Structure 1
């Protein structure tokens, strides 16, 4: 999807790569690659929101709030994530795209239940707050000259710790622990947003001109989508007004 023989000019803007002496080289291929990732990611989030709202307004959200359907809808997106991650080399780009859209739609079914627990106004406010935070953090990850590679192991360990704490709280039902998990979850996925953006940007140099470059756009969109949605859910749990 990226153009790999693009002319380079000395200008600034999105896709600019700082060089020694203050010179800035504009890589149009990198710009196109990253914009494609953001376009896919944004489209996926919009599809999720549309499906969630339509499911709620149709009255079907309650059917996904409990019982066997809840587990099917909750675990199906996870199965797709694993399939996309481990089958990326075998799948075609078109297959990965179809899986991504299916994932976004299933996430919409799953997230439709938040309308049963939180007010519409607080959901909207939290969504726009998440969007603003995501944009700022992703821009930081893209433009900073400081390597964020050291964050990776720490953040992944944080995600594992969050999962353990969430499972434990299913039995403890502690409101205090729930708020702590939500607060820490926001911080972890905020960090992952910046880290993943820089990682995707740096990977472009290795993927440039390869057959995998188009697939990497879809996989990159999935990564940033997960950062956005998780940050949104943790932030909503922390500051959302309950029905």
Structure 2
């Protein structure tokens, strides 16, 4: 531990698994007091217990990020308990799969309720708190699906694209109050959300062929990028989009082995 986040309070959504869980561990290892948020108590409590077993400081709150009142109240209560909010990581997301022609309006909207609305509510709430305390850092999670058109995932792709440009606007507005807002853009990462596409050796191998580094990312690799943007090491970085995808988005023509 290098104490890069010593004495800082961080709130992380979607903290019960995957990238959110890995980020909670990395933040705690660097000295932060971590508050993780999610919809189910049991997995959240397991993450908190694991962090505490390693000597970290963590707690959890149960709240649905797509429920404005509950989510905003959770952030405000955490800031009140700890006297401040230094970092917000908007990691929670929702997605649907299917052809545009077969997508119902309610399903389309479901892609936005957590991913876009939740990111907006969280960012707005954090900015109001951070304005009063002299600054802070917000890191929003997008996806390479938000950079390129992705068949059968139109709603998710549109939602993640919205997160990217919303974050740029938040960075512009927050700068005068010393509030930084940046985006991490994952590629394919081994999380519960991607378990289906990595279900067997053949499926995983086919996916990895499309990635220049020839492997799927690990959650901790995303957590390390989030950690950098949340830390004072990135004090002059705002409005940036950091792609962490093994080179996938830089490769127009994949050379297959």
Fold in common (TM above 0.5): no
Which structure carries more helix by proportion?
Answer: 1
Structure 2 length normalisation: TM-score? 0.27
Taking structure 1 as the reference length, the TM-score comes to 0.28
Structure having greater relative contact order (Cα 8 Å, sep ≥ 6): 1
